[in-house]
Structure 1
Amino acid sequence: IHTPGHAPGHLCFWEEKTGYLFTGDLVYKGILTAWFPSTDPESYLKSLEAISDLPAKKVFPAHHSLEIAPEILIRMRKAFEQLKENGMLHHGGGTFDYGDWGVWL
């Protein structure tokens, strides 16, 4: 699945048969970095929208803990949607802490 945001060519891999979602650098516990010139916060949101409705049973991120519940996908999407509604989903928008994850725009 093409999931730009962290990087223009970023991909997530969805294994429908097992319900496994490999999120690479898009989703992980910790601080998501979306302030680099190569990142695109708006695309990040669109990518979260694309994967958050998948019936994932297990999420495999590229960084930090593998103990990550699939519900984090929905929490991240909702947080990004709120940042957009508040006019903060852009480079320089700030750093936001959501407990087990955060984002630096």
Structure 2
Amino acid sequence: MRRGSGFTLIELLVVIAIIGVLVGLLLPAVQQVREAARCMNYVNKIKQNALAINGYGDAHKSLPTATDRKYQGRPPHNNGWSTFVIHIMPFLEMGTTFDRLDLGTVN
């Protein structure tokens, strides 16, 4: 009796086990690469914000303040208030969004 030239069940299970081990080794490496890319994304966003603040400083000869309205006592509820984030928007390539904002009495 002649045996066929196909895989036996044990050979197939060994191949599946080897593939499983290789995938198990590969997944943590892929996760590390994803985490590194995510960290680089955050670092780039921080750099963009720093450059935008410096750009604002160059254009206005002063750095943006936390708020741009002085008040006596308790401030009114968002009446003419804005933060530095709004003022650095043109330097973050968000000029069209900045132009659409109605800042009211804010300078």
- TM-score when normalising by structure 1: 0.24
Q: Which of the pair is proportionally richer in strand?
A: 1
- TM-score when normalising by structure 2: 0.24
Name the structure, 1 or 2, with higher relative contact order (CA <8 Å, separation 6+).
Answer: 1
Q: Which of the pair is proportionally richer in helix?
A: 2
State which structure, 1 or 2, has the greater radius of gyration over its C-alpha atoms.
2
